[in-house]
Structure 1
Amino acid sequence: MERDEILGGLEDAGLTSYQADAYLTLLDMGVSPAVDVARNCSVPVPRIYDVLTELEQMGYVETLDRETLHARAREPAEFVRDLHDKSERLSSVAEEIEDRWEASPLGDNKMNVTKRVDTVVDHAEGLIREADSTVDLAVTDEQLVAYESALTEAFEADVVVRASVAPSGEVGIADHPVSDVVSEIRERPLPGPFCALVDRTEACLAPTTRMPDPYGVVINDDIIPFILRWYFQTCLWANWETVSRSREGPPVYVCLEEFIRDVYPLWWDDAIVSVTVSGRDPDSGRDREVSGVLTDIRYSATSARTGQRPTLTDLSGRATVVLWTPDGRCTVGGWGALDEDLEVKRVTVDGIEWLA
């Protein structure tokens, strides 16, 4: 270690610059006259006697009465032990400060990034408790169980919760009480990122724990959650089997594309499908609800229209359903709809009838 680094460490331990320089010089020289110590360090000769006396009172050196004043460094065991204690204490304080900084509440920015995955997972729990309409989760079974209290609050507030769960082999989700407060659970054998999408404007994402440098992102925005929603729908939801449903009564959809895929073959075969749509008026931004009969389904991949249900790829462009309501014709679009009369938040199937 360079001399300047040692001097800096001694000063950090509480010595003045003169005291540190004199002490280190004595360590190098052994028993020496005070004048020689001064000549080999930065301490002026008139000050060396006071500096050595100070060091002696602190327990670092001892002085010897000879023809001239001599000094030598004392056995450093106690001093070294004190340095180790201070080093460990400072290291612990540094780690605690870092942990507290990482765990501190996230700000009101559009996007917050943290190195602690737990911060993102904990933040998502609060968002679930405050949800108004929908929650989409990609979690492990252990994380889902840990959210039971928050999910119960969401269930009691009539929030639709869809959970894509990667099992750890420790929790049987289908038989666990948490399944009673989750609208639908699908099990996927592949592990993946933690993801929570709440009410279309809040998103929490944390990569898989296999990442060498874990991090998490919390987003309060309209655009990025829309992109993550397609990732959730296509990769984490549509391809996996349902293992649990908690809601009784008519089917409820929070994804227009999923509704179209399920109802398209029925509509093609001339079934009368009655629905209630809760959504947002794209012009005014106000929420409203309409009920009516499905009269048409339109989507960009028109060349693919047959009696078979369309794929998510077919519906990845523009997808619209047309209803006939007591007030006339109403067009309903998916998340981000601009040209339709209503941007869907929830579709409830009230009934299906077949023409005689």
Structure 2
Amino acid sequence: MPDQNNEKLALLKETLQENVGMSKYEADVYLALVRGGAQTMSELAKVSGVPKQRVYDTVEDLRDNEFVEIIDDYPRKAYAVDPTEALSDVQNQLKRAEEYLEEFHEVVETVESGIALFKSKRTIEKYVENLLTSAKHDILLLCPVSKLSLVADPLELCEDQQVRVIVSDPSPESTNDVDPDGVLPETVGAVRETTSAEHFALITDRNRGLYWSTASMEQSKDEEQGFYITNSQLALILDRFVSESVWPLSRPLRSRVPSLPQQYLRIRDCLSDLSQIAHERPLDSIRVEFEGYDTDSDEEVHEFGSLTSFYFTDYDRRASLTVDLGEADDGVQSPLVTVGGVGNRLEDYSAHIITISEINESTDDILDDETREYLRACQRELPHEFGTRSVVSGFAAYVDRMREIIEEWSNGYQSVGQSEAFKEALFRFDASERVPRIEWTQTRTEPGGHVAHTGHTFDNLGYDITLIGPLGTPIHSEFSREFRDQTLVSVGETTNTDYLRFKDQKLLFTEPNLDRISWETLLEEVELTELAEYVDGTSLMTVGTEFSTPTLPSLFRGLREDLWPTLSSPPDNVQVATDAIDRFGASQVRNGYAELGELDEIVTVTVNANRSQTRRFRDIYDGDPGTHSKSTVQRVRESLGVTRYIMHTNQGGTLATENNVLHAQAPQVVKPRQVRNVDAHFISGVAIGLTENVSDGALLILGNSVGRYFMRHKEAPNSEELRSFISQYDTFFKS
């Protein structure tokens, strides 16, 4: 023990002399007073070993430096001031020196091990600020409420970065949500809240990060530690923890519909934004550019194309884009590829940078000469008066029931406004022992299906239209009320589609009609002579297939063999609107449309399809994209054996005949009121043109016009509105 005390005294003497600035005599006297308490000068000289004549001066110097106090008694005594108090000035000086050093110290950008540990709170805060201010593209922050003031000012400068914040560890005494607008600047695009106690985590550009432990947990007794991460793989692990584990289970407090273009480092961020954008514009109007690698060859790639579909949910690790690569003339021949995020091996490509923008930012918003020619033809060929001819529409019909989810009863009911709130309610059910029970209410009903869509368009323009389909027995009021001045022929019971409507999206529950209409079942409800009376003398028969693909052969054969021979003045055109062909196997689709070619031998048949349906036909009939001299729409037309095949996309319509392929641009709609059902209204526009026997180019203009009017106004046009739109068609393009 004496040896240990001697070592301690030697260390203390050395420290007091070298670090505090005491002389040898001062250190000896001070330590003697610390160990022995109050002592006279004679006692001090004996204990410290300092000559008595020097003790007086030494004690006076120590008192001047506030290390000792003197008792003015006889004999005089001295005692040591409490070491903590005595050394406080030295400690303050050291702290100021540390602060000055940190101020001048440059932040370490490269750490040999990829991670550095800091225990100084000031140092950690400095690295937080540096990460925020140096971020180039992306900031993801998990921040306890107590630390929000630390990041608010640096985040206000992040105007060009995508910023998402999760607020954690709210006060248990607080009954109110965190107000992001009161704490976080507008540069933060999305804010969520988690009630769990989470440490501070900051990741910038997915390649640097900082994890600040115990920063959020007041009950923790551990010292605060900041782990500064420069290794990109370690940063990515932290990023995935926050973005895939914490973010999806946190409650949204702030979100915005993104503007385009946008760049993303995480595919889930991109898909989350797309799920909002998809409610405002068609998917094929969005351009996707990505950088990454081919998952088969590991070769680096930089590709771009148009978006065709995507898969995303907060509660599934799978997330992908389906992109149409290339610049094929008809927009169909180029291959479809799937794109996943970093580390993905299931998709064709893995992307680490994804950019989405509007396709129509290029030459698509300048009216080309071909479209201008068809527009002039349409303007010349429009009838002086709509509604002088008659039409038959069949056979797809059902009732749309608009519904809202009830959240609570208070002075009536309160509906669930956002789809996220509905999802959260489902998870609460899953976590409880109660049987899930959801209350909903029906707000209105309306007719749906091909019969209803074409019926609305022709009815608005004053045509006589006969609607044949499963309208109910007796006919449902939705049809009789909406089409009270038209002829309605029911051939069976209808089914329902429940539209679960939220402010940000809607969910459809469709009850398919299992009693599919075939020629035999049709004649069980309507005699052939009666059916002939409805069809004879009309200008067009338009047919929606929907769920009836397997029974189409009997329908087309019956029209050709049984009905048409009985007609004295048959329609000039038959229009077939494809739908739901992706729900059936290739052989069913081939068999379903096999009779179309023979029907076309006695009446002109026009088939309408969108781009995805055209791809489906292509894959079924030749399955070899990009190796033919003819365009895809031409090859599909030949495979079906019909006179016309029309494909419609967000960019416009493409029409193939035996000798030609025509294309007409569609006006782009800014902030459309309706995106769903635009296909049906394009088809209705083409049906008007077929009824009036306009030229092929004019058919495309009419299809584009009715479809785009519906996007703008959420309803079909009347005669004056349609003429006005066509007269202004070219004004929607840049001059």
Range into which the TM-score falls when normalised by the shorter chain: 0.5 to 0.7
1:280 aligns with 2:291: yes
Identical residues among aligned pairs (%):
15
Distance 1:202 1:221, change over 3 A: same
How much has 1:200 moved relative to structure 2? 0.8
1:70-219 matches, cutoff 5 A: 75-77=76-78, 80-81=80-81, 86-93=86-93, 105-107=106-108, 108-109=110-111, 110-141=114-145, 143-155=147-159, 157=160, 159-166=161-168, 167-168=170-171, 169=174, 172-176=178-182, 178-209=184-215, 210=217, 211-212=220-221, 213-219=223-229
SS, match of residue 157 in structure 2: helix
- Tell me if 1:244 matches 2:254: yes
The 2-side partners of 1:311 and 1:29 are apart by 79
- 2:227 counterpart of 1:221: no
Q: Distance in 2 between matches of 1:59 and 1:263?
A: 79
Contact 1:164 1:188 in 2 (8 A): yes
> What displacement does 1:340 show?
5.0
- 1:334 alignment partner, one of 338, 341, 352: 341
The 3-state SS of whatever aligns with 2:80 is helix
Alignment partner of 1:204: what SS?
strand
- Compared CA separation, residues 53 and 149, structure 1 to 2 (3 A): closer
Q: Which amino acid aligns with 1:343?
A: A
Name the CA distance, whole Å, in 2 between partners of 1:150 and 1:325: 40
Structure 2 distance, partners of 1:18, 1:121, is 41
The alignment covers a number of residue pairs equal to 308
Report how far residue 53 of structure 1 moved. Answer: 3.6
How far the C-alpha of 1:228 sits from its partner, in A, is: 1.1
- Three-state SS of the structure 2 residue aligned to 1:242 is strand
Which residue number in structure 1 is paired with residue 353 of structure 2?
A: 345
- Kindly state the Cα deviation for residue 117 of structure 1 after the two structures are TM-superposed: 4.2
SS in 2 for 1:139: strand
Q: Which has the higher strand share?
A: 1
Q: Deviations over 1:123-182 (max 9, x none)?
A: 223222222211111113454454344323322x2x111111134559953433735221
Q: 2:467: which partner in 1?
A: none
Q: 1:55 to 1:342 in 2, by over 3 A?
A: same
Q: Where does residue 301 of structure 1 map in the other structure?
A: none
Paired position in structure 2 for 1:302? none
SS for the counterpart of 1:163 is strand
Helix, strand or coil for the counterpart of 2:197? Answer: coil
CA drift at 1:276:
3.5
| Matching of residue 292 in structure 1 with residue 300 in structure 2 | no
- Distance, in Å, in 2 between the alignment partners of 1:140 and 1:320 is 32
Q: Distance in 2 between matches of 1:261 and 1:171?
A: 23
Task: Note if contact 2:206-2:232 (Cα within 8 Å) is conserved in structure 1.
Answer: yes
Counterpart pick for 1:231 among 241, 248, 272: 241
Match of 2:387 in 1: none
CA deviations on 1:47-103 (whole Å, 9 max, x unpaired) are x9xx4443354358xxxxxxxxxxxx97342x6349776433334445556667788
Residue of structure 1 in register with 2:655 after alignment: none
Q: Identify if the C-alpha distance between structure 1 residues 186 and 171 changes in structure 2 by more than 3 Å, giving closer, same or farther.
A: closer
Compared with structure 1, are the counterparts of its residues 215 and 15 closer, same or farther at alpha carbon in structure 2 (3 Å cutoff)?
A: same
Counterparts of 2:191 and 2:76 in 1: how far apart (Å)?
A: 69
> Partners in 1 of 2:186 and 2:272 — Cα distance?
26
Who is 2:598 aligned against?
A: none
Aligned residue type for 1:161? V
Q: CA deviation at 1:29?
A: 11
Q: Deviations over 1:180-234 (max 9, x none)?
A: 2211111222231111111010111112333322111111121112111221123
Q: Secondary structure at the match of 1:290?
A: strand
Shift of 1:343: 1.5
Change in 2 beyond 3 A, CA 1:130/1:340: farther
Q: For the residues of structure 2 that align with 1:256 and 1:94, how far apart are their CA atoms?
A: 49
- Asked if the contact 2:138/2:162 (under 8 Å) is kept, the reply is yes
Q: Structure 2 counterpart of 1:239, which letter?
A: L
**In angstroms, what is the RMSD of aligned CA positions?**
4.7
Alpha-carbon separation, structure 1, partners of 2:84 and 2:202: 45
Distance in 2 (CA, whole Å) between partners of 1:84 and 1:127 is 37
For the residues of structure 1 that align with 2:214 and 2:12, how far apart are their CA atoms? Answer: 41
C-alpha distance in 2, partners of 1:18/1:100?
A: 30
User: Structure 1's 250 and 80: CA in aligned 2 closer, same or farther, altered over 3 A?
Assistant: same
Greater shift, 82-91 or 194-203, is seen at 82-91
SS at match of 1:182: coil
Q: Are residues 194 and 52 of structure 1, via their aligned partners in 2, closer, same or farther at CA, if it must alter by over 3 Å?
A: same
- Any residues of structure 2 matched to 1:242-321 within 5 Å, and which? 242-246=252-256, 248-249=258-259, 254-257=265-268, 272-282=283-293, 290-294=304-308, 312-315=315-318, 320-321=320-321
Rg bigger for which structure? 2
TM-score by length of 2: 0.35
C-alpha displacement at 1:255, in angstroms? 3.0
TM-fit CA distance, 1:244: 1.2
What is the distance in 2 between the residues matched to 1:163 and 1:20? 58
Larger displacement relative to structure 2 (221-230 or 252-261): 252-261
Residues in 1 aligned to 2:231 and 2:9: alpha-carbon distance in whole angstroms: 51
User: Partner amino acid for 1:224?
Assistant: L
Q: Which string of whole-angstrom CA distances, capped at 9 and with x for unpartnered residues, describes residues 314-342 of structure 1?
A: 42xxx543311335445433124588555
Greater relative contact order (CA < 8 Å, ≥ 6 in sequence): 1
Structure 2 CA distance for partners of 1:165 and 1:29, relative to 1, 3 Å: closer
Q: Residues 205 and 140 of structure 1: is their aligned pair in 2 closer, same or farther, counting only changes over 3 Å?
A: same
Contact 1:202 1:221 (C-alpha < 8 Å) held by counterparts = yes
Q: Distance in 1 between matches of 2:195 and 2:292?
A: 39
Q: 1:217 to 1:340 in 2, by over 3 A?
A: farther
Higher mean C-alpha deviation, range 233-242 or range 189-198: 233-242
